[in-house]
Amino acid sequence: MEVCTIGGFEQVGKNMTAVKIKDDVIIFDAGIYLPAIIEIQEEEAHEHIYNEKSLRRIGALPDDLVLDKYGWTSKVKAIVIGHAHLDHLGALPYLAHRYPQAEIIATPFTMAVLDEILEGEKIILKNRKRIIKEDSTYVLNGSSGQIKMEFVHTTHSTLQCVFIAMHTSEGTFFYALDFKFDNYPVIGDPPRYNKLRELGRRGIKILVLDALYSGAERRTPSERIARNLVEDAMSSVRDRKAAMIVTTFSSHISRLKSIVDFGKKTGRQIIFIGRSLNKYVTAAVKVGQCPFKKEIIMMKYRKQVDAFLKKVEKDRGRYLLVCTGHQAEPGSILDRIVKDETPLKLREGDNIIFCSSVIPDPVNINARDRMDKRLRKKGVRIQTDVHVSGHGAREDMRDLVILLKPKHIIPAHGTLQQETPLIELAGEMGYKFGETSHLSSNGKVLKFD
Amino acid sequence: MEVCTIGGFEQVGKNMTAVKIKDDVIIFDAGIYLPAIIEIQEEEAHEHIYNEKSLRRIGALPDDLVLDKYGWTSKVKAIVIGHAHLDHLGALPYLAHRYPQAEIIATPFTMAVLDEILEGEKIILKNRKRIIKEDSTYVLNGSSGQIKMEFVHTTHSTLQCVFIAMHTSEGTFFYALDFKFDNYPVIGDPPRYNKLRELGRRGIKILVLDALYSGAERRTPSERIARNLVEDAMSSVRDRKAAMIVTTFSSHISRLKSIVDFGKKTGRQIIFIGRSLNKYVTAAVKVGQCPFKKEIIMMKYRKQVDAFLKKVEKDRGRYLLVCTGHQAEPGSILDRIVKDETPLKLREGDNIIFCSSVIPDPVNINARDRMDKRLRKKGVRIQTDVHVSGHGAREDMRDLVILLKPKHIIPAHGTLQQETPLIELAGEMGYKFGETSHLSSNGKVLKFD
Amino acid sequence: MEVCTIGGFEQVGKNMTAVKIKDDVIIFDAGIYLPAIIEIQEEEAHEHIYNEKSLRRIGALPDDLVLDKYGWTSKVKAIVIGHAHLDHLGALPYLAHRYPQAEIIATPFTMAVLDEILEGEKIILKNRKRIIKEDSTYVLNGSSGQIKMEFVHTTHSTLQCVFIAMHTSEGTFFYALDFKFDNYPVIGDPPRYNKLRELGRRGIKILVLDALYSGAERRTPSERIARNLVEDAMSSVRDRKAAMIVTTFSSHISRLKSIVDFGKKTGRQIIFIGRSLNKYVTAAVKVGQCPFKKEIIMMKYRKQVDAFLKKVEKDRGRYLLVCTGHQAEPGSILDRIVKDETPLKLREGDNIIFCSSVIPDPVNINARDRMDKRLRKKGVRIQTDVHVSGHGAREDMRDLVILLKPKHIIPAHGTLQQETPLIELAGEMGYKFGETSHLSSNGKVLKFD
Amino acid sequence: MEVCTIGGFEQVGKNMTAVKIKDDVIIFDAGIYLPAIIEIQEEEAHEHIYNEKSLRRIGALPDDLVLDKYGWTSKVKAIVIGHAHLDHLGALPYLAHRYPQAEIIATPFTMAVLDEILEGEKIILKNRKRIIKEDSTYVLNGSSGQIKMEFVHTTHSTLQCVFIAMHTSEGTFFYALDFKFDNYPVIGDPPRYNKLRELGRRGIKILVLDALYSGAERRTPSERIARNLVEDAMSSVRDRKAAMIVTTFSSHISRLKSIVDFGKKTGRQIIFIGRSLNKYVTAAVKVGQCPFKKEIIMMKYRKQVDAFLKKVEKDRGRYLLVCTGHQAEPGSILDRIVKDETPLKLREGDNIIFCSSVIPDPVNINARDRMDKRLRKKGVRIQTDVHVSGHGAREDMRDLVILLKPKHIIPAHGTLQQETPLIELAGEMGYKFGETSHLSSNGKVLKFD
């Protein structure tokens, strides 16, 4: 078995891994690297056109051209997407055409999000698409024999995330990006501990593992905790005449559910603003996983939004606005509101709840610092960090390794600095760096007997 | 009105404030400074005798001798204790004799804890004791006219904590140590927002405020969050044959309730170990506030404990041990267990849950670092920071100030460095440092017209 | 004696203090608050006009209108400027007209810089100017009797900085902004320890003290250290065909001397670029304190600069460029060069030496982070933090207090958070907060018997 | 060529690397892991016996038994020691007997220190010893042909440190532990840049590199800077009747030279106290590299020391004491003095200068925090961090890589977390992780064609 760690092994983003068993290659994820796009937007004022060429040039795509070099390209039989986040899915529209024989395999929600993106970008893919359910199995007839994939439900921060256990004639490969062990998820079930233990008993050869927070010596708390924080933050807004805005991640359907549930108790009308929210909510509705669809109104286009914000300005206590822009991204709806670029002018007593944390990068820190200062100056009441991450930490990883007992561990989803603590954790558990635990780099091939 | 900030204005501990209205002096709190005692214990090997003289010498008592200098001592009419923590209550046994005319006023639980301490230390106080309920009022006939005290229920990290609003002929003094605004407490009610708003409307002259975490730009989460973390941590112990130890604060009855509630689900027998736990639980039982008293067995004496641990060693899956020692204090029961100084020898797969955070002091950091390393080496599964603080942060303080609209603010419960962020917050809200917001020092008198 | 702490007691910048002895008022410093100006520049794209009114509106001037309220304005006899930095001098052009009777008193260099600024801004002041030398004395005949001012040479990060000891009928006031104790300055003498000790023996009533780094438990190293670092950094540029740029503070004549001294050894022609550098160097030349004036060429205007950079582009090994822009300020010459907005296009092997530290503010951190990334991408070799601060730290302050033994201490030059460590240091040394050590706020009056 | 990274690749300490060329094995360094010894001392009160067996058990020796497993042991032809620090030299007395055919090769000072240690521990080694000078060459006739070793003088923090370039039939291996590029060393010459560039031109196959501070984006300043800091610190002790103690690293002969040079100016008699200082100074004298030997008096034994300190107590202004104990190690002479366990009782105005930094480990941080508090309480004037590290940082490494242009880079001297920034730096410079830059673990073999 050979593993090519194509992308996401030297940064957070553009995740992509290929596994070769004899003459069959299976790709896991094809994500985009958003910071590269944001950088180019900030550097250059003009409009950008995104296509494979321009995205490759700025480093926003995983460099899957290495597969050509290795002669793997024509052998790709399937591209499996673990969940619907852009750093796992967002490169697919630009790369899939290179693998015309490959099926695209994903859960219903993930596929629905892909379809939304393709429609938005006006890209048509010719690959066959195969929708698989969580906790189901799919058998692919490779030239090397049967390849059986088990899609094991797990918990993260969007809908229908799966671990993938791929059983082959050369052993079982286990792909575990992204996850945290959440025993009290807001939508859906807890992780399948028994299934994982059983797989561990049957034997795992290689585990590729989301190591992002392996340096944090804790378990990541449940989304239930975030739900409680949301309730507390929203119920503490007591002024019924003040504006009320909540900002969070557009793909985080559970979080949105909590916001809507407690939003209803305020008696305000709930408005979702922006294209990104629209995309994910539409996908959730399509697959019957949007419990709050009747409770909200969606607004997508800038004109519509600005006209509506005029109404909000006059009757601000009547609405609850939900939008993105929590990182103070320039041009986001929240950024425009805070800078008084829309008809809604925030004032003393108005409320903003940030269901997010500041991503610790100088750009975001600076942008949010300035946004928060502006809001304080206006007397806006802000609540921040009403949030719990969807990525597990060191103790989640320890538990997964205990359950699966893999022969080999390969940390993923981070820089080397973020991945090495998992190597150290593995060391505590008896793995030996360079023999049974491995650090890889983008484009490298690791071979296992 | 004059305010003498006797103790706790230059450190965390030995809280004590006196207020003079004409010829009447009322004292708020009389706490001890534990770090001074710990330091002396670590420096000198021999046994220590604690009495007023020795405790004064090492700086463990608030320096209330300044009241003699000011001629206030004989005018003290009452000593009011806000809640049952030692940094608010622990100096009283050694100081109360200096104020023979003063009543000691406290809620039932606080008074019961005082009685437990007095009994343990074999100290008899001659002062009259007056037990007042939360949300009740007490009128004291001073030489300056009636002094009406309202005891307003608040939320913190032990039972029956109160804010005290003291209405006098010279205006209303408000004492707000310690608190966080917890809308979902595990035992008891949320804070009395309406009462606070009403008091604010009637006018507050001076607010003395727990500023400990005024530098943290957030609200402190509810104890409900800690309860969820406890549930998650305890339910993740799946090995029914392994030892299971939970360590937390002995005065934190809500936390102990959560531990017992979820402990019962493990089917294990729940044992509380140690004198400190015994003291607080006994006090809670006395006042009818210990919902879990029938679910637990208490062990107090070292001999008894060690004999029992022999049984645990043989049948470790049968018990859930609850104890103190979360800061790895030398000689604590947890410290002794971890160092193999008891019959219970921890081994791979055993569990320790720390319902606490490491107090950020080099001594504790080092002690816990070594304890954790020892545990990791043995293969013990540890879960840390299963905890939420009982002290509010900047946004809790902002809310309290908005409700009370006091004329003057005096930060308390910290070093100057910990108190100054509250001055800055007050500045944001229109207070002017040196005019309406004030930093004080131990022993200083502030005068207000 | 009364002290009005007008500005610089709640931020770093706009330093201004007034002292009243009976009917005479003396003002110390009149500085500007640069961050307020920078903020307005970043927020609004259009050109800005700076006059008293607009600067007051954005909070860039110390609020000396409080002196009107107190009835002090007409009593101001003198405005003494301690040194030539803008946060001590920069507001004077806009405020001095309010005090027509007041003499402006400063050392030759400080006065020369003031003249340069006035000329640049086309402002004419009618106040009498009195140039005093370091280590000299000036007697002012006030209505309250003689006021004798001693100007004691001290060390900081520009030329001719002085402590001011003002002897009055009500005692001696000592103004100590800004300083570090530098025993090995590159230009000029070490501090006057004996003089300070003597003044201490004769008795100091009040010490107003630069507390900026009172939280750092060290002495600040000498400028000699910075000189060594400069030598090392510059001599490590071995490629004689690569571009070489050094950026530092324009007022830091000692640092510039070091840069020129070691620059000469490279054989390159040394060019100073920009108006700010020109201003300070011209002032230094005027007072005969610019030892390197013959070694450099100055370029002031953008056109001239860009034409010259065209030559540098072709013959980059021939020149050593010295400029400002070390904080990556937008529009600075360095910023323009790095962004390829000038004819000089940096490339692999070119060198930039930052004789400065990043000012720890999100705006600067972000700006420099992006500048550094750009440079790394081009392969430019950068050396950073070739710098030592001019502000003393905790141990410098300890030494000054030991020498002067003042009765009262008032920390200045920072936020409350930055000033409180000096209160704690004073506490270690026997001062009592609220009695002999004092925290003040902008506009407050402290009275001393 | 095969490289076995025996020790020091997962921690700071026990450095050891073996290189195999056909049937010849050369070992570089054989260091001890001091933290393991300190831990055992702190855990267990009784006296410890150190021999190979006990040291192996606690993990204090590099695990060179792997060489037996690989069949390399009998092929070891030489053990080369790069410099005289214990983490490079300290295991040799316990391991050398395993390689009876191997010569021990080192510079005169390094060999002299080894001899001192052997004598102190009463160990006799039968291996042949070969003393080589800096900047000389030694040819070893291996079974694989000639192996030519060049010993290139470099700068670090003790005497006679060398890089080793080993030219073999399979290419050149370069061993670069430890170093910083110091252009102004206090004793000896700057690094041999030209030699390094020439070696780079001739071709380096593998570079094993001290990566300890690869995460710090700077060059480490010169020892000249430390010398200036020492001068400043020592000259600021003005009280000629107070005690004066300087503490630093016993192997740091340049630093000791600075201390003695400026100590002489105080007119005090200079006394070196302790066995460790004695060991290194004796070795320096032996090789004619102790320029200050006539200026000092050495005291070695506790009785002698205590008797002498009695004299110091009575006439404290007469002496300058130099000792170790800067990390507040329990039982060190400094620790004993501070705790009043010697006849010298420190008091107000006495001086301690720490020519060292606190090693950032919870044990040291806590120990020094307590020592410093004790000293402050006594009124002792302390000066800390009068120090510059001997390990290079990221920019030193960048420069070395530019000079040598090795084909492969292997970071050493740290944990994986400390080594990965060098991998990232190498990435910036075009190296590819897993192909031309490599992370290894203790005991692993890397093979190079």
Question: Confidence class of residue C106 from pLDDT cuts 50, 70 and 90?
Answer: very high
The mean pLDDT of chain C is 95
Contact across the interface for D441 and A420, Cβ inside 8 Å: no
pTM value is 0.93
pLDDT at B43 over 80: no
Separation CA B151–CA B168 (nearest Å): 15
The per-residue pLDDT for range D127-173, each reduced to its tens digit, is: 999 999 999 999 999 998 999 999 999 999 999 999 999 999 999 99
Residue in A with minimal Cα distance to C42: A370
| Overall average pLDDT of the D358-365 stretch | 86
Contact across the interface for B365 and D370, Cβ inside 8 Å: no
Q: Which residues of A touch D10 (CB under 8 A)?
A: 427, 433
Question: Confidence class of residue C35 from pLDDT cuts 50, 70 and 90?
Answer: confident
Q: Tell me if residue D356 falls in helix, strand or coil.
A: coil
Chains that touch C (3 or more CB pairs under 8 A): A, B, D
Contact across the interface for B416 and C435, Cβ inside 8 Å: no
Cβ atoms of residues D116 and D106 within 8 Å? no
Residues in A whose CB is inside 8 Å of some CB of B read 183-184, 193, 217-219, 221-222, 224-225, 228-229, 232-233, 235-236, 238, 376, 383-385, 395, 399, 428
Q: Which residues of B touch C440 (CB under 8 A)?
A: 433-434
Contact across the interface for D235 and C183, Cβ inside 8 Å: yes
Count residue pairs from B and C with Cβ separation < 8 A.
Answer: 48
pLDDT confidence of residue A39: 77
Contact across the interface for C439 and B441, Cβ inside 8 Å: no
pLDDT confidence of residue A359: 87
Contact across the interface for A362 and C363, Cβ inside 8 Å: no
pLDDT confidence of residue D46: 65
Q: How far from each other are the two terminal CA atoms of chain B, in whole angstroms?
A: 7
Residues in C whose CB is inside 8 Å of some CB of D read 183-184, 193, 217-219, 221-222, 224-225, 228-229, 232-233, 235-236, 238, 376, 383-385, 395, 399, 428
The mean pLDDT of chain D is 95
CA distance B12 to chain A (A): 27
Burial class (CB in 10 A: 0-12, 13-18, 19+), B302: middle
Find the CB nearest D416 among A415, A424, A441.
A424
Residues in B whose CB is inside 8 Å of some CB of C read 10, 415-417, 420-421, 423-424, 427, 432-435, 439-441, 443-444
Q: Which token pair is D288?
A: 């004619």
Find the CB nearest D441 among A10, A432, A443.
A432
Cβ atoms of residues D418 and D12 within 8 Å? yes
pLDDT confidence of residue D362: 85
Find the CB nearest A416 among D424, D443, D444.
D424
pLDDT confidence of residue D37: 85
CA distance B383 to chain A (A): 7
Contact across the interface for B235 and A384, Cβ inside 8 Å: no
pLDDT confidence of residue A369: 92
pLDDT confidence of residue A41: 75
Contact across the interface for A232 and B219, Cβ inside 8 Å: yes
Q: Which token pair is C134?
A: 């370091």
| Overall average pLDDT of the C297-301 stretch | 93
CA distance A201 to chain C (A): 48
Separation CA D310–CA D303 (nearest Å): 11
CA distances from D193 to D199, D236, D395 (A): 10, 37, 15
pLDDT at A221 over 80: yes
Q: Which residues of C touch B7 (CB under 8 A)?
A: none
Separation CA D106–CA D151 (nearest Å): 9
CA distance D272 to chain C (A): 26
pLDDT confidence of residue B50: 85
pLDDT confidence of residue B359: 86
Instruction: Write the DSSP symbol of residue A268.
Output: P
Separation CA C130–CA C128 (nearest Å): 7
Find the CB nearest C218 among D236, D238, D384.
D384
Question: What backbone phi and psi angles, to 5 degrees, belong to B309?
Answer: -65, -25
Separation CA B229–CA B218 (nearest Å): 19
CA distance C361 to chain A (A): 9
pLDDT confidence of residue D114: 98
pLDDT at B256 over 90: yes
Q: Which token pair is B65?
A: 């001798």
Residue in A with minimal Cα distance to C39: A370
Contact across the interface for A417 and D420, Cβ inside 8 Å: yes
User: For residue B257, what is the enclosing H or E element?
Assistant: helix B253-265
Say which residue the tokens 């692999």 belong to: C348
CA distance B415 to chain C (A): 9
Residue in D with minimal Cα distance to A437: D441
Residues in B whose CB is inside 8 Å of some CB of A read 183-184, 193, 217-219, 221-222, 224-225, 228-229, 232-233, 235-236, 238, 376, 383-385, 395, 399, 428
CA distances from B375 to A219, B335, B345, D190 (A): 17, 11, 11, 48
Q: Which residues of D touch A439 (CB under 8 A)?
A: 433-434, 439
pLDDT at D402 over 80: yes
Contacts of D187 (CB under 8 A, 6+ apart): D159, D253, D254, D257, D289, D291
CA distance B166 to chain A (A): 27
pLDDT confidence of residue C43: 67
pLDDT confidence of residue C113: 98
Written as one letter, the residue type at C273 is: I
Find the CB nearest B417 among C10, C417, C432.
C417
pLDDT at C114 over 70: yes
The per-residue pLDDT for range B151-194, each reduced to its tens digit, is: 999 999 999 999 999 999 999 999 999 999 999 999 999 999 99
Q: What is the ipTM of this complex?
A: 0.91
Contact across the interface for B444 and C434, Cβ inside 8 Å: yes
pLDDT confidence of residue A363: 85
Chains that touch B (3 or more CB pairs under 8 A): A, C, D
CA C44, C45, C47 angle in degrees (round to 5)? 100
The per-residue pLDDT for range B72-106, each reduced to its tens digit, is: 999 999 999 999 999 999 999 999 999 999 999 99
Q: Tell me if residue C105 falls in helix, strand or coil.
A: strand
Burial class (CB in 10 A: 0-12, 13-18, 19+), A257: buried
Find the CB nearest D218 among C238, C385, C395.
C385
Cβ atoms of residues B103 and B131 within 8 Å? no
Count residue pairs from A and B with Cβ separation < 8 A.
Answer: 52
Cβ atoms of residues D16 and D413 within 8 Å? no
Contact across the interface for D183 and C428, Cβ inside 8 Å: no
The per-residue pLDDT for range A43-89, each reduced to its tens digit, is: 665 667 789 999 999 999 999 999 999 999 999 999 999 999 999 99
Contact across the interface for B434 and C441, Cβ inside 8 Å: yes
